[in-house]
Structure 1
Amino acid sequence: MSAVGSEAFWDFGRGSGVVALLLLTTSVVLGVSARSGRPLPGLPRFAVTEVHRNVSLLASVFLGLHVVLLLFDPYAQLRLFDLVLPFAGNYRPFWQGLGTVALDLMVALVVTSLLRHRIGRRAWRAVHWASYGLWPVALLHSLGTGTDSATPWFLGVNALCVLAVLGTLGWRLSTRFPKRREVRA
């Protein structure tokens, strides 16, 4: 493969990973918001759930693109079993392993979401709680594996993701949140 071809795989692999992280962050924010039972400004409650689903699927597509592109990249040195067996990779094994864990969790979330009506709401919800572990694992993977991880723009993207998720969780857990107030009263 030419140097230009392998560089393109690396660039598109990195870019799709950043987009996947941004979409995953958006999905977590929308998921927490949808679970709150309140509409977001400009969106009725049912629309928040629909947008959450669609953003989640789009995040899955970009994650898949990220992985497939890096399978063909000679620098990343991904092998097929690296996609299911964490911490066995050739390139930064710990950080790559976190990516494998995130991928495996994403697959479990997608599969159970597609089978939601067959497995039941309780089983689906139990697996869906894994999304709260998936997001920080994916974030750490991006910080440890990415060649751009020390650049100001990338640190800014990660800081924005962290602020968005922590802000949403803080809002959801706050005492001003109506359901929390009812429980405390």
Structure 2
Amino acid sequence: MGQTGLDQALWAFGRGSGITALIMLTVAVITGIGSRSGRTLLLPRLGLAELHRGAALIATALIAVHVVSLLADPYSQLRLLDTLVPFAGDYRPLWVGLGTVAVDLLAAIVVSALLRHRIGPNAFRVIHWAAYVFWPVALIHALGAGTDSGRLWMLAVAAACTLGVVAAMAWRISRDFAEFGLARERSLR
């Protein structure tokens, strides 16, 4: 029995939304790092913060579309259990399981963002640091579970995303990076 047009559309939509989510996650990580700096980069700090929030929201929506479309697609063989319990699936259990771990981390990040004012800034910040684990897990999931992972264009997307995040993280840990609060204190002196 071959795939129907709807099955092919669901499969393509699942793949495309996952790849686009990875790109938007990369934008969210890079702008999140940039918004913590006291410096004006391409945008003022508050503009970067808004771009970070927007990219994170779009990425979250795309991940939801990714999961739902693959659940509806009979070819992907994704079960609801696979989206809740890591490494329980039959299809590429390690790689799909990493996707489940990434979704679990994303859920913690989203819930902490929604409850930010109730849990306080310190708890929010600690949970939000899960993004530094979430992003590489999502990238590894894309490269292992994705049917396009060996294609040159997908490798180029993954390489560009990796380069962007590695550069932002290298800047984040360098002496040139100043947290917003520290930069503000220095400017008041």
After TM superposition, the score normalised by the length of structure 2 is: 0.90
3-state DSSP of counterpart to 1:36: coil
Q: Does residue 8 of structure 2 align to residue 7 of structure 1?
A: yes
Matches within 5 A, 1:3-82: 3-41=4-42, 43-82=43-82
- Structure 1 consecutive aligned stretches of length 4 or more whose deviation exceeds 2 Å: 174-179
The higher relative CO (CA closer than 8 Å, separation ≥ 6) is in: 2
What is the RMSD computed on CA atoms of the aligned residues?
A: 1.5
What's the counterpart of residue 93 of structure 1?
A: 93
Q: Percent same amino acid at aligned positions?
A: 53
Aligned equivalents of 1:151, 1:161: Cα separation in 2: 16
3-state DSSP of counterpart to 2:36: helix
1:61-104 deviations in Å (ceiling 9; x for gaps): 00000000000111211111211100001210000000000011
Matches within 5 A, 1:101-112: 101-112=101-112
3-state DSSP of counterpart to 2:171: helix
Match of 2:116, as an amino acid? Answer: R
1:2-36 deviations in Å (ceiling 9; x for gaps): 52111111000000000000000000001111112
Q: CA deviation at 1:175?
A: 3.2
1:95-122 deviations in Å (ceiling 9; x for gaps): 0000000011111111110111111111
Aligned residues: 179
Aligned equivalents of 2:108, 2:175: Cα separation in 1: 33
After TM superposition, the score normalised by the length of structure 1 is: 0.92
Aligned equivalents of 2:76, 2:3: Cα separation in 1: 16
Gaps of 5+ in 2: 183-189
Q: CA deviation at 1:178?
A: 5.0
What's the counterpart of residue 123 of structure 1?
A: 123
Aligned equivalents of 1:35, 1:152: Cα separation in 2: 34
Match of 2:39, as an amino acid? Answer: R
Aligned equivalents of 2:28, 2:178: Cα separation in 1: 23
Aligned equivalents of 1:175, 1:51: Cα separation in 2: 25
Gaps of 5+ in 1: none
Say which is worse superposed, 25-34 or 74-83, in terms of deviation.
Answer: 74-83
